[in-house]
Amino acid sequence: MTENARATAAEIDHAVAVFRRHYAEVNGQSTRIYPGVLETLEALRGQGRKLAVVTNKAEAFTLPLLQRMKIDDYFDVVVSGDTLAVKKPDPAVLHHACTLLDISPCKGLMIGDSANDALAARGAGMPVLLVRYGYSEGVPVDTIECDGLLSTAIEVLDHIIPR
């Protein structure tokens, strides 16, 4: 491309459509559930916990991914990147999830893997634990202010009061 190259609106729309179609086809093909996640979800469900997914990924990709990984039934609420007009780190997405779950943000717990997750939780007045694996947006999680770091998902059970 040259420095002055410009795409038309039609070309951009076509490129986005091609991307979305391709992404939908490959969404989750190489995705693997991290060790301990299924056991953690089972334990939390066994305690009667209400669980939500709050992601910046579009709903068209979020729900099929959760279904493909066979974990969609664990979650009472899914807030995707296009559910509201804002995304993480805006705390509104966590407030929305809490409203749907009928809980106060201070009674919730954000488990995330990035600064956006921590910022959203802090803004919502919600405690936050960060996992040492995952997306992290290139920022080491041990440099991000949070209430604790997890090396495995199952460690979250050490941070909550059993029911």
Residue spans per domain, the chain: 31-158
The angle that helices 92-101 and 115-124 make with each other, rounded to 10 degrees, is 60
Higher pLDDT: 163 or 101? It is 101
Q: How much is the mean pLDDT over the chain?
A: 93
pLDDT value, residue 80? 98
Compute the chain's Rg from CA coordinates.
18
149 to 120, 124, 143, 158: CA distances (angstroms): 17, 19, 11, 12
The angle that helices 9-26 and 59-68 make with each other, rounded to 10 degrees, is 10
How many CA atoms lie less than 13 Å away from 141 in the CB half-sphere?
A: 22
Q: Is the pLDDT of residue 59 over 80?
A: yes
Q: Is the pLDDT of residue 23 over 90?
A: no
Mean pLDDT along residues 9-32: 87
Q: Which of 68-77, 128-137, 142-151 has the lowest mean pLDDT?
A: 128-137
Q: Is the pLDDT of residue 1 over 80?
A: no
Do the beta carbons of residue 141 and residue 151 sit within 8 Å?
Answer: no
- CB 100: neighbour CB atoms within 10 A? 15
**CA 55 – CA 96 distance, rounded (Å):** 12
Domain 31-158 has CATH 3.40.50.1000: yes
